[in-house]
Structure 1
Amino acid sequence: MAKTLELEFVTEFGKTARLSVDNPKEPIDGSVVKAAMEEMIASGIFTSTNGNFASVKGARVIDRNVTEYEMV
């Protein structure tokens, strides 16, 4: 079972930019995630092809199950 924390930001041009964190530490605290995202925006370190991060849009955990089948 692979989990990913996906952070969504609104860029300076009104587009959506995403950052993914594999295997996030659980339990996930929404207020801590939001504070971290606001720090990322304030630092100006991250940018995307759609512009600099301007505001927090949201966050979600994606839980993916993969079942492999042997082909004989």
Structure 2
Amino acid sequence: MKKLAKTLELQFITETGETSTISLESPKEPVDTAAVKVAMDQIVASNAFYSAKGQLVSPKGVRVIERNVTPYELA
């Protein structure tokens, strides 16, 4: 049985100018971009996350990734 898996990716610019991503499974759709922007601004302001690429300094983008998963039973 095929399963459609979706992930919401929040992309941030770090202090080194690189991109860092926070992924969330099974996002509520349709995505409310205004609410996501507010949440991303709060994440940056709180300094709650630190990546290997440095501190998060600003939101860059948001996207939903879809993938099909087909599990198989081993005989």
TM-score (norm 2): 0.87
Residue 30 of structure 1 pairs with residue 64 of structure 2:
no
The equivalent of 1:66 in structure 2 is 69
In structure 1, runs of 5+ residues without a counterpart are: none
Looking at structure 2, the residues matched to 69 and 44 of structure 1 have their Cα atoms a distance apart, in angstroms, of 42
1:66 partner letter: V
Task: State the identity %.
Answer: 53
The equivalent of 1:10 in structure 2 is 13
Displaced runs of 4+ in structure 1, greater than 3 A? 68-72
State the superposition RMSD in angstroms. Answer: 1.2
TM-score (norm 1): 0.90
Question: 1:65 is paired with a residue of what secondary structure?
Answer: strand
In structure 2, runs of 5+ residues without a counterpart are: none
